[in-house]
Structure 1
Amino acid sequence: MKRLALVIAAAASAAAWVAPPAAAVEQVFFTSPSGNIGCFMDPWTVRCDIRDRTWSPPPRPANCPEFGDYGHDYGQGIVLNADDDAGASFVCANDSVLGAGPPLGYGQEMQLDSIRCQMWPTGVACQDFMNGKGFTMSREAYEIF
């Protein structure tokens, strides 16, 4: 009986030393190597902002106030919400994700759940591979698909 108690105690002691599972990544920030694009990603959303660009966003929507106490910047970035059949849209916000994270090298990718972004010398491409919606963004152009 003593031997069984020692085996159980040893097993319990060994179990206490097992490292707990790593916590799931909740959010990630990354930047293009040039620093011109910054992105935020969590399992449900990706947002990328751009500093210098030669293109203009489409006209500001009515639900993005320009003046008053609640005025917002518009068009400095693009946001994609997972499983949203409407697809990506331009950012309407008073903040920025530029410079908020370390560089993601050219040819590298970041993925959380169904959203994946890839960094290229020409810019960034992000897509929700569950519904195919996404966007590309570079200094010269953008595309929402």
Structure 2
Amino acid sequence: MLRRLALGLACAAAALALPAPAAHADDMVWFQTPSRNIQCAVYSADGWQLRCDMLETTNTPPRRPRSCDFDYGHAFGLTATGKGRYLCVSDFVGDPERARTVKYGRSIRVGPFTCSSRESGLTCSNRRAHGFSLSKARQRVF
């Protein structure tokens, strides 16, 4: 499991154009929405990074870039200062057994990130007010 997670984090980091983090379970915080449709991980091995993946969406994702040979439109990334991004990934970042469930109406703050869980979806941002909003019907990066 840790090996698969480490590979996934390396792919996420590559998609964010950052060096791949050394993935150690102690360096990570997992959380999820009550529906478990949105699963997230925050890690700080080589600078703060947040990644959230969606199991299911009802809209059509954006067109996959030619440079992406994997899944596109269901994974989202954020660094401590950069804008939110769609990620090209070949894995899933979630860990439902370790993840803390952030109840609707509550928020979680990890490092430079704050994520607010609502019945309408999850919104995550960094201290520069960049981030993403995710729901089954709509995903937006800013």
3-state SS in 1 of match to 2:27: coil
Spell out structure 1 runs of 4+ moving beyond 6 A: none
State the aligned residue count. Answer: 112
Task: Report if aligned partners of 2:32, 2:38 keep a CA contact under 8 Å in 1.
Answer: yes
TM-superposed CA distance for 1:102, in Å, is 3.0
TM-superposed CA distance for 1:97, in Å, is 2.2
TM-superposed CA distance for 1:133, in Å, is 0.7
Pairing 1:140–2:130 present: no
Report the TM-score when normalising by structure 1: 0.70
Alignment match, 2:80: 82
Q: Distance in 2 between matches of 1:107 and 1:62?
A: 38
Q: Distance in 2 between matches of 1:80 and 1:33?
A: 21
Task: Report if aligned partners of 2:86, 2:141 keep a CA contact under 8 Å in 1.
Answer: no
Gaps (5+ residues) in structure 2?
1-25
Alignment match, 1:30: 31
1:53-79 Cα shifts (integer Å, max 9, x gaps): 1122221123312xxxxxx22211211
Task: Report if aligned partners of 1:117, 1:127 keep a CA contact under 8 Å in 2.
Answer: yes
1:20-59 Cα shifts (integer Å, max 9, x gaps): xxxxx73211111111111111241111111121122221
Gaps (5+ residues) in structure 1?
1-24, 66-71
3-state SS in 1 of match to 2:65: coil
Report the TM-score when normalising by structure 2: 0.71
Structure 1 counterpart of 2:68, from 64, 70, 89: 64
